[in-house]
Amino acid sequence: MRALVVNPDGHCPAGLVGDRLAHHGIELDELVVVAAAAHPVSDVEFPDPRDYDLIVPTGSPWSVYDTATIGSWIGRELDLLRTAVKADVAVLGICFGGQALAAALGGTVERSPQAEFGWYEIDSSVAAIASGPWFQWHFDRFSVPEGSTVLAHSDVGVQAFRFGRSLGVQFHPELTTSILEGWLADADEAELRHLDGTPEGLLAETAERQEQARPHTEALVDHFLTDIARLT
C-alpha cells in the first residue's frame, strides 16, 4: 500500500503517524508544496490521489481561507482531497490537513476565539482516540461537513470527525520533539505569545509526554486504518 503525505511547507512531516503507517507496511511518498515558507507560492503538480491507498495532508503555518497568501495552491489541495473522497480513497487530515478536508467537503474554517499552542484536553467518544491532552498548534477551527460524525471535541471546537473512510483531526498526533523544535525555531511573535510558558518549558513538557503520546498515536492510527479506512 502507498500513502501520499501532503506537507505544505516542508516543516510538517508525518512524524509518529508516519512511523505507525510504516509499521503496517505502508510506503510513504511526500509532496512538499512550497519550497520556502517566506514565499508561499507554488505551481507544484499535485498527483492523482487515485494512485494511492491513503492521503495524509499535514499541518501548515497558514490558514485554509487565506487565499491572498496561499491562493496559488490551496485550491488544488482541496481538489485533491475532494477527488480522493469521491473516489473512496481514505484521507487522514492533521490540523491544517483536517481543516482542509472539512473545507473540501463543504465545512467551514474560521479564526478560533481561542488559539491553542501546547498540550490541551479533548473529550473523545471513541476509545481509540484518547481523551486527555493532545498537542495543539493553531489559530483556526472548523465546522464539519454534512454527513460527518464528530468523534472528539474541546471547548474550542471539533477535534476529530469522520466522513466515510476519512478522518480529520485538529490536534497533532504526529508530533515529536524534533518537529516541535523546528516549529519553535520558525515561530513568529504571535505564536510565541500564545505559549503557556517558555519555548524551553514546552519542549521539556513534550519530551516528558512522548512516552504516553506515542501509544496514543499508535492507537489512533490503528483505529483509523482498521475501522475507518478499512485498509488492514
Residue 109's pLDDT band, with cuts at 50, 70 and 90, is very high
Cell numbers for 219: 492507537
pTM of the model: 0.97
Residues pairing with 142 in the sheet: 109
Cβ atoms of 120 and 130 closer than 8 Å: no
Amino acid at 228: I
- Tell whether the model's pLDDT for residue 139 goes beyond 90: yes
Please report which confidence band the pLDDT of residue 227 belongs to, taking 50, 70 and 90 as the band edges.
very high
Q: Where does the pLDDT of residue 11 fall: very low under 50, low under 70, confident under 90, or very high at 90 and above?
A: very high
d(CA 230, CA 53): 11
Q: How many Cα atoms occupy the beta-carbon half-sphere of 138 within 13 Å?
A: 31
pLDDT of residue 136: 97
- Is residue 104 predicted with pLDDT exceeding 90? yes
Average model confidence (pLDDT) for the chain? Answer: 97
Q: Does the pLDDT at position 2 exceed 90?
A: yes
Per-residue pLDDT band at 157 (split at 50, 70, 90): very high
Element (H, E) at 111: strand 109-124
Range 137-162 average pLDDT: 97
Give the separation between CA 130 and CA 89, rounded to whole angstroms.
Answer: 25
pLDDT in tens, 66-97: 999 999 999 999 999 999 999 999 999 999 99
Grouping H, G, I as helix, E, B as strand and the rest as coil, residue 113 is strand
Is residue 17 within 8 A of residue 217, CB to CB? The reply is yes
pLDDT greater than 90 at residue 232: no
Say what the pLDDT of residue 159 is. Answer: 98
Q: What is the pLDDT of residue 193?
A: 93
Q: What is the number of residues in the chain?
A: 232
CB 136 within 8 A of CB 170: yes
Rounded Cα distance between 52 and 57, Å, is: 13
- Residue 101 reports pLDDT greater than 90: yes
Query: How does DSSP assign 27-83, residue by residue?
Result: EEEEEE--S-TTS----PPPPPGGG-SEEEE---SS-TT-HHHHTTTHHHHHHHHHH
Given a cut of 90, whether residue 196 has pLDDT beyond it is: no
Domains and CATH numbers, the chain: 2-228 (3.40.50.880)
Whether the per-residue pLDDT at 8 is higher than 90: the answer is: yes
